[in-house]
Chains A and B, each alone.
Chain A
């Protein structure tokens, strides 16, 4: 099963790389603006040999990880609190629906006003974008709690904390995991965008410099790195999800097939 998956994955990648190499070579697109995959690979190799590249990668990962951690904790805590107190949920519903669609990128001037081009600017954008992903999932997750289970727990005399721990949390956890997985991808996108536009140190800033310098292969090489980073993050998030939900029907069902 696992072997087939890997083989299919490699085949898919080859199916993508072959045309990416051939199209510029055959002159279908201009080699100067869309360099063939092999030239991008060479540029990627040169990047990997530059210590500044690794520093930038570290900066991006720091912004991503911190932002995701803050957004996830805040999303889970606030989500649970809002759900447990019905009045709060009703009072905040319209505010959440108002704030949620505001694109994080639109907050760039605000971030620069408050924090300049520091890590905190990146964090503001990352947290703002990924917080909603987690919060909304937590709210849905808590709504999904089985009223019979809840009533049973009550009649057995479980307190609020115990009910959160043994009834609410196991029901909401699959939703939380989905939320965090979505937030992980969004956080990466926003971290890179913030670096690109604001100039905070990181991969995004290097992409920006390559762009304004007309260094096309280097630019694509860095973009490939962000793609790979996204891939790794998604694989990692799925692994965490599988482990945390090993007891859950959805995961057990997947394994049985």
Chain B
């Protein structure tokens, strides 16, 4: 109760400070170890992207390193980033832009392993800018004055769509972006509440099922082989437990390589932690899972984020990236 009232009076501004404080108080919390196996908590969103970790756990790659993963699935960054920053979760999964924004806001995050990359093939990516069947819109340029749905405003998908509009010769400031969760986009598009939607799987497959049309692959347009998301930890955890981080990195790299080489097994794993209907899952485009992040692509993303005004201070990639 005392901690609650303290937190309340401190208010949202002090959230980050509280984060440092509470993890300082309880450095040993979570990450317990017994019999040579260290249990680490990983905060994830239950989507296609994180299949390699589930697969790697199943294949025993983490156990070989002496790690046991305990998964927590949340709806998004609202729960994962503060959880990792305060040491409640040891690792988390987040897109690159969110991590750069967090870092520029002074939240001490540190990427440890690659998450996912775009397939790099326009028209065959897991993320797509789509319009409904029969829409007159053919190019991102025509989105000026139209309503485009983005899952989180001022984040990676908005930046990417703005880049696509710009490179097609349009003015992204003329586009009306509205925030909508991915899972609600197919219905909103179908109803005509929005003119276009920036979706990722499995919503991409759902819209394709309705004969929706892809007018751009924004994540492909940002940079070749764009690194979209990363696994991360807090700076303090990385400093205090370098050996755990190293083990996680090794096992994650092995898991990513395995999942990339065995897409059918990855697809099978997805059924264990999501409820994606079988007919949709069969049509889902899997992302790429390279073992290493692509720094050049992240720099391109940072440049776009800067011109779209996402960062308070410039992100420091040397500190952020593994």
Do B190 and A30 touch (CB < 8 A)? yes
A110 to B12, CA, bound (A): 8
Given contacts A113-B15, A199-B75, A208-B73, contact A124 B4 (CB under 8 A): yes
Q: Which of B46, B79, B182, B190 contacts A117 (CB 8 A)?
A: B79
Q: Decide yes or no whether B288 CB sits under 8 A from chain A.
A: no
Do A110 and B274 touch (CB < 8 A)? no
A154 → B minimal CB distance (Å): 34
Given contacts A99-B8, A112-B86, A199-B73, contact A213 B78 (CB under 8 A): no
Mask, A187-205, CB within 8 Å of B = 1, is: 0000000001111000001
Residue of B nearest to A209 (CB): B46
B83: chain A residues at CB < 8 Å are 112-113, 116-117
Q: Decide yes or no whether B89 CB sits under 8 A from chain A.
A: yes
Do B273 and A209 touch (CB < 8 A)? yes
Q: Which of B86, B186, B274 contacts A113 (CB 8 A)?
A: B86
B30: chain A residues at CB < 8 Å are 116
Interface residues on B, range: 35 or more
A69 → B minimal CB distance (Å): 15
A110 to B7, CA, bound (A): 7
Q: Decide yes or no whether B95 CB sits under 8 A from chain A.
A: no
Residue of A nearest to B274 (CB): A213
The total of Cβ contacts below 8 Å across the A-B interface reads 114
B210: chain A residues at CB < 8 Å are 32
Given contacts A214-B203, A218-B275, contact A208 B46 (CB under 8 A): yes
Tell me the residues in window 189-235 of chain A with beta carbons closer than 8 Å to chain B beta carbons: 196-199, 205, 208-215, 218
Given contacts A213-B46, A214-B202, contact A116 B72 (CB under 8 A): yes
Do B88 and A209 touch (CB < 8 A)? no
In this complex, the member of B3, B72, B274 whose beta carbon has the largest number of chain A beta carbons within 10 angstroms is B72
Q: Decide yes or no whether B153 CB sits under 8 A from chain A.
A: no
B187: chain A residues at CB < 8 Å are 30, 32-33
Q: Decide yes or no whether A108 CB sits under 8 A from chain B.
A: yes
A197: chain B residues at CB < 8 Å are 74-75, 78-79
Do B41 and A116 touch (CB < 8 A)? yes
The chain B residues found within 8 Å of chain A, CB to CB, are 3-4, 7-8, 12, 15, 18-19, 22, 30, 41, 43, 45-47, 72-75, 78-79, 82-83, 85-86, 88-89, 181-183, 186-187, 190-191, 202-203, 206, 210, 273-277, 280
**Further 8 A-B residue pairs, CB within 8 A, beyond A32-B186, A110-B18, A197-B75:** A109-B78, A113-B88, A117-B72, A117-B89, A196-B75, A197-B74, A214-B186, A214-B206
